[in-house]
Chain A
């Protein structure tokens, strides 16, 4: 069965370190998204991609970057981790088209100390 996976599932890192969160989908979806989930804020869009070599900034992109070198993967990099980036991160993918639902990964809980 097709799926979307994230790794690691839990990560503790120190302030200032670079961290990369992996997202891999086997749906063959063009669209991929990264969100962070925080109490009181729901899901906020960090970055998104509509296809290989395409990346776009979301509403909370500062301090994060993504790259899309193939259809399956959209890694999220925190350039220099900050305590404010402690959160649960969800990756999602969808087919092209504005009525398509998003399929979510299991999430990565990141703690920055």
Chain B
């Protein structure tokens, strides 16, 4: 069964600091990878996704993530965070199976707090 690990549960940064959130998954085959964000009091929304091609994926609001297959990782990065990036971030993995179905597994989330 696939699983997702997010090792940082709570990250506190000052504005303008650089961000990197770790995500590792366990599954030996082809995977589709997602990062979702949940702003306080809101529902989850997609930040970015990777399913093929360039392993460096750019998403909304200046976020990017790099898929490193050999490390089973899909870390999220942002060069300079803003107070408005305060949110919880979830990594998710979908290992596709026959018929194009999907069953996504989410990590436990990382809470990011940005201090002005």
Binding site for B on A (CB under 8 A): 31, 33, 35, 40-45, 48, 50, 58, 90, 92, 94, 96-102, 104-107
- How many whole Å from B4's CB to the nearest CB in chain A? 8
Asked whether A43 lies within 8 Å of B106 as measured between CB atoms, the reply is: yes
Choice from A41, A42, A100, A107 contacting B102 with Cβ under 8 Å: A100
Asked whether A99 lies within 8 Å of B51 as measured between CB atoms, the reply is: yes
Asked whether B46 lies within 8 Å of A101 as measured between CB atoms, the reply is: yes
Asked whether B90 lies within 8 Å of A97 as measured between CB atoms, the reply is: no
Choice from B44, B49, B105, B108 contacting A99 with Cβ under 8 Å: B49
- How many whole Å from A91's CB to the nearest CB in chain B? 9
Q: A90-B43, A104-B43 are in contact. List 14 more A-B contacts (CB 8 A).
A: A40-B9, A42-B108, A42-B109, A43-B44, A45-B104, A50-B101, A58-B103, A94-B102, A98-B100, A98-B102, A99-B94, A102-B104, A105-B43, A107-B43
| Complex alpha-carbon distance, A45 and B102, angstroms | 12
Chain B residues, Cβ within 8 Å of A104: 36, 43-45
Asked whether B43 lies within 8 Å of A42 as measured between CB atoms, the reply is: no
Chain A residues, Cβ within 8 Å of B9: 40
